[in-house]
Structure 1
Amino acid sequence: MGSGGKVFTLAQVSEHNTPKDCWLVINGKVYDVTKFLEDHPGGDDVLVSATGKDATDDFEDVGHSDNARDMLKDFYVGEIDASTIPKSTTPKQPHYNQDKTSEFIVKLLQFLVPIAILGLAFGVHLYTKSS
């Protein structure tokens, strides 16, 4: 990976903002993640929604593993011209992602409800067997 690649402006990177052509800016580097969209554990819409801006905070907030960080090497296409990224005028605040929270609750329920049903069925089976 390393520097020395082609330098892109944010406007150039922003043109790649669809599921068929998706580029991201993370830590000053530009990545073409198009081929990874289907395999991304968080879904392709998360990546597509991070186009057209510096996605570093989005990437870091999720807490990606070292393996995920190593995978970026495969998608590297160049560097971003930092002068083309607008400076934030608002202080950074903790990010609360309602979609992720809802997704977690749904997954938790998908896990717990079948276990509860199985436990109830087993309990009924034991009760009827003992009667």
Structure 2
Amino acid sequence: MAGTRDYTYSQVASHNTKDDLFIIINDQVYDVSKFVYEHPGGEEVLADVAGRDATDEFGSVGHSEQAKAILETLMVGKLKKTPQDSKSKQAVQVSYKSSPSTTTSKDSGIGIRMYVMVVLAIAGIFAMRKYMQAQEVK
């Protein structure tokens, strides 16, 4: 673990922008800044946990071994717990700060998903209609 260091909750909380995004998983600190745009679940997923403990969220998704291997390459240190941590961990509510040149909206991901679902539904209806027409010809 050469090159890693200890971080407090407040230090991690200060890394909460798209270009400087740290998260905590199982008391390990990860710099996911370079992975934001590559994350398969979208950047909003990482934005929701920017600068805070994401152990529960990471565990609840059921990440693949490949995802866990990628995560290990992003580790920059360990969480250094202090006596105030039990209070500060709950009190640190960091809002994700998007870069000035971009804006993010949780709704944008939903809009894209809805569009894809509508396109797939139309394609399914079209395929079913063609299938039914082919059955009538026989």
In structure 2, stretches of 5+ residues that fail to align are: 91-106
2:28 is aligned to 29
1:120 is aligned to 129
1:68 is aligned to 67
Please state whether the residue corresponding to 1:52 is helix, strand or coil. coil
CA shift at 1:122, angstroms?
3.3
Task: Normalising by structure 1, report the TM-score.
Answer: 0.71
In structure 1, stretches of 5+ residues that fail to align are: 90-98
Q: Is 1:86 aligned to residue 86 of structure 2?
A: yes
Please state whether the residue corresponding to 1:47 is helix, strand or coil. helix
Provide the rounded CA distance (Å) in 2 between the counterparts of 1:66 and 1:18: 27
Deviation per CA, 1:27-54: give whole Å up to 9, x if none: 1111101111111011011112112321
Provide the rounded CA distance (Å) in 1 between the counterparts of 2:74 and 2:131: 50
The answer to whether the 8 Å contact 2:8/2:79 transfers is: yes
Provide the rounded CA distance (Å) in 2 between the counterparts of 1:111 and 1:24: 35
Root-mean-square deviation (CA, aligned residues, Å) is: 3.0
